[in-house]
Each structure stands twice: as structure tokens, then as C-alpha cells.
Amino acid sequence: MATDYVSEWMTDELQALRDVARQFFEREAAPQMAKWSEQRYVDREFWVKAGRVGLLCPTVPEEYGGPGGNILHQVAITEEQSRVLEKGWGNNVHSGVVTDYILKYGSQEQCARWLPSMVEGTVIGAIAMTEPGAGSDVRAMAGRARRDGDEYVIDATKTFITNGQTADLIIVAVKLENPQNPAADPRAGAGFPALMNQMPQERLILAVNAVVQTEKAVQLTLAYTKERKVFGKPLYDQQNTRFVLAECATLARAARLFVDHCIVAHARGRLDNKTAAMAKWWLTDVQCKVLDECVQLFGGYGYMEEYPIARMYADARVQKIYGGANEIMKEIIARAL
Ligand SMILES: Cc1cc2nc3c(=O)[nH]c(=O)nc-3n(C[C@H](O)[C@H](O)[C@H](O)COP(=O)(O)OP(=O)(O)OC[C@H]3O[C@@H](n4cnc5c(N)ncnc54)[C@H](O)[C@@H]3O)c2cc1C
């Protein structure tokens, strides 16, 4: 479901990767989505298949079994995943978030131990920050780690963790209990800044997902309203329909231009927290607004789960909540003004 717009950062190589991803998702994922939704997890075999065709952890260097790509490869895969799949496959967390933490903050030994299996899909990654009593207020987390010889013993309760049911490797955010000598352990005191440093990438991926869903909603609704007849003519011929879709298409284009700006900035290492927060809140907000308009144009069918637009509408709502609620995004922006 492509639009007529081609992002300036797109290259032949990235386009080829997108084609591979789209064909793979259409062939291997689309027929399984109802089953995955019912059982509430994605089969492990699918992760391994995705690994075999090179769709996991594209930023992992060759020395750790990866293809040595960059964020643009990750975005290309995220876009196709978002276009074809529905909710449930936590690859964006696995490949786009957890991988980056290990690459940036893991030791060489940890990289060698975990990354090859993550690229293969035999190890599934998750990140656990949220607790029942601490979501938006990350600093309020009660989870603790206690040093015991060469190990840390973790005592924490986490909730809402994507891939939580199937994960083999979980990055757990906790506070260090009684750090004796923080200077002697570079991991003590370094955790919170690491969480904050990684936020722009996580938020960018959510924003990319929002833009793809917005574009897809407009395309689906255009096709539907051109086919659906009301009062003896296509619904699209009603002036209100045309104006609503003109507005939605304009929002989708503005959203695309903004996210492209952020993608390029991030590829150059220049996406700051403020801009990533702007992208996250505004693009997920646009996604929800456009989907609301589109559902209205589908009439009663827009409420029926059998129609993709109904499922897209329901799934869109969480985009304004996770990855940092949109109110928190506005706090981050306001503080930086
Ligand atoms: C499907 C899903 C997947 C998720 N995946 C993960 C994951 O993989 N790992 C992980 O760690 N977490 C994950 N989360 C958790 C998610 O990041 C949190 O739900 C989110 O940060 C909000 O925290 P909360 O739910 O505790 O809401 P609360 O912190 O209780 O906030 C509730 C609402 O209060 C408002 N609010 C809060 N603080 C402020 C403020 N300062 N100013 C104004 N308004 C405010 C906002 O509207 C907010 O939405 C996931 C959540 C969902 C639903």
C-alpha cells in the first residue's frame, strides 16, 4: 500500500531490503496474524525465519553475525512490518531498542554472547522499565539490584513488557542497592543517562510506525469510498468525503516529511531528545486523528473487527501512551524551550 512519495533517504539498496521484507511479511506473517492474536504471542519459528532472511538486528556489525547496517536499514524494515503486520510482533523492541543497548553499553563479551543469537532469532530481547507503581515517573521505580560477589541479584516487579512472555534476554532497569563504591563499577550511576540516551531512537521508531499507519489508513479509505455507493454515487463523490480525505492526505504528507527529517537527523547522529519527543507526540496524535476520520467514512463497517481499519483504529490508541505518554513528551519539549 505505497504512496506516490519517495523519501529522499531511500536508496536502491534500502528499496531492495524493503521489497524482501514486504514479500516475507506478506507470505509468512499475514496468514498467521489471526492465530497469533488468539494465542497472544508470535511463534518462535517466525523469529527464526525472519532471522534467516536478514530482517532482525540490521545494525549489528559483521563481527557479531549481523549485516553491519545502520538505522536506515532498521527503519526500512520497520516501515514494511508496520504496513503488513498488525500488533504483536515485538521486533522493533528486539532489533531497534535492545540490540542498540547491548551494542552501546554491553562489554565485548556480552556482545559476542548475545548478538549473534539475536540476529538469528533464537534469542528474543525485551526491555523492562515500567513497574505497576512507576510508568511515566521512571525515577520512582522500586526495583533493586544487589551486588552479590560477581553477580547482581534483582528484586523487581515489571509490567507491560513487550516480548515479556517469550523473551530470553531482558534488559531490566533497576536501582543499585547500597552502591559501596560507584566509581569502581562503571555500571552504577550510568544507568539512567543510558536510558535517556536511547529514548530518541525508541521514539523515532514509534513515530515511523505512526506515519506508516496514517498513510495506510488514507489509502484504505480512498479505495473504500471510491467503491462504496451512497445516494446513487460513490461515497468519494460527496464533497465532505473529498474534503476530509484531502485533509487527511495533507496531514499524512506533513507527517512523512517530519519523520523523514528525524530519520535523516538520527542517521547523522543529530536527533535530539526534544525533536524526538515532538515527533512521537505529534505523529501519534495525527495517526489517531486520521484514523478517527477514516473510521467515520467506513460507516458501521469501520466498527467491525473484520475490517482492517477497525483494528488499526483500536491499535492506534496505545501509541499515545507507551514509549513515554504524550503528556511526558510535551514536558520534555517545554523544558527544552
Ligand atoms: C502495549 C504496551 C507495550 C509496552 N511495552 C513496554 C516495554 O516493552 N517496556 C516497558 O518498560 N514498558 C512498556 N510499556 C509501558 C508504557 O511505557 C507505560 O504504560 C507508559 O510509560 C505510561 O506509564 P503508565 O501506564 O504507568 O501510566 P501513568 O504513568 O500512570 O500515566 C497515566 C497517564 O497520566 C498522565 N500523566 C502522567 N504523568 C504526567 C505528567 N507529568 N504530566 C501530565 N500528565 C501525566 C498521562 O496522560 C499518562 O498517560 C508498554 C505499555 C503498553 C500498553
For residues 243 and 239, give the distance between their C-alpha atoms in angstroms, rounded to a whole number.
6
Residue 1 binned pLDDT confidence (cut-offs 50, 70, 90): very low
For residues 73 and 206, give the distance between their C-alpha atoms in angstroms, rounded to a whole number.
15
> DSSP 3-state assignment of 31?
helix
Select from 92, 101, 130, 162 the residue to mutate for testing ligand 1; criterion: most ligand atoms less than 8 Å from CB.
130
Residue 87 binned pLDDT confidence (cut-offs 50, 70, 90): confident
Is residue 182 scored above 60 in pLDDT?
no
Alpha carbon of 311 to ligand 1 centroid (Å):
21
Q: What was the pLDDT predicted at 187?
A: 60
Query: Which residues does ligand 1 sit against, CB inside 6 Å?
Result: 93, 127-130, 135-136, 160-162, 318, 321-325, 327-328, 331
For residues 214 and 131, give the distance between their C-alpha atoms in angstroms, rounded to a whole number.
31
Residue 11 binned pLDDT confidence (cut-offs 50, 70, 90): very high
Q: What was the pLDDT predicted at 188?
A: 61
Is residue 2 scored above 60 in pLDDT?
no
DSSP letters along 71-105, please?
HHHHHHHHHHHHHH--TT-THHHIIIIIHHHHHHH
Alpha carbon of 319 to ligand 1 centroid (Å):
10
Alpha carbon of 83 to ligand 1 centroid (Å):
25
Average pLDDT over residues 147-169: 95
Among candidate residues 99, 118, 335, 110, the one with its CA nearest the CA of residue 201: 99
DSSP bridge partners of 145: 154, 176
Average pLDDT over residues 157-179: 93
Average pLDDT, the chain: 95
Protein residue with its CA nearest to atom 11 in ligand 1:
129
- From residue 174, give the alpha-carbon distance in Å to each of 107, 157, 162, 171: 19, 10, 17, 10
Among candidate residues 242, 327, 239, the one with its CA nearest the CA of residue 281: 327
> DSSP 3-state assignment of 126?
strand
Q: What was the pLDDT predicted at 5?
A: 86
Average pLDDT over residues 23-29: 97
- Express each pLDDT in 190-211 by its tens digit: 888 999 999 999 999 999 999 9
For residues 160 and 132, give the distance between their C-alpha atoms in angstroms, rounded to a whole number.
9
- Give the number of other CB atoms < 10 A from CB of residue 307: 17
Q: What was the pLDDT predicted at 179?
A: 63
Q: Is 331 a catalytic residue?
A: no
- Express each pLDDT in 57-70 by its tens digit: 999 999 999 999 99
- From residue 118, give the alpha-carbon distance in Å to each of 66, 141, 163, 189: 9, 28, 13, 27
CB 43 within 8 A of CB 95: no
- Express each pLDDT in 106-125 by its tens digit: 999 999 999 999 999 999 99
- Express each pLDDT in 266-319 by its tens digit: 999 999 999 999 999 999 999 999 999 999 999 999 999 999 999 999 999 999
Q: What was the pLDDT predicted at 73?
A: 98
- Express each pLDDT in 88-101 by its tens digit: 799 999 999 999 99
For residues 106 and 125, give the distance between their C-alpha atoms in angstroms, rounded to a whole number.
14
Q: What was the pLDDT predicted at 86?
A: 84
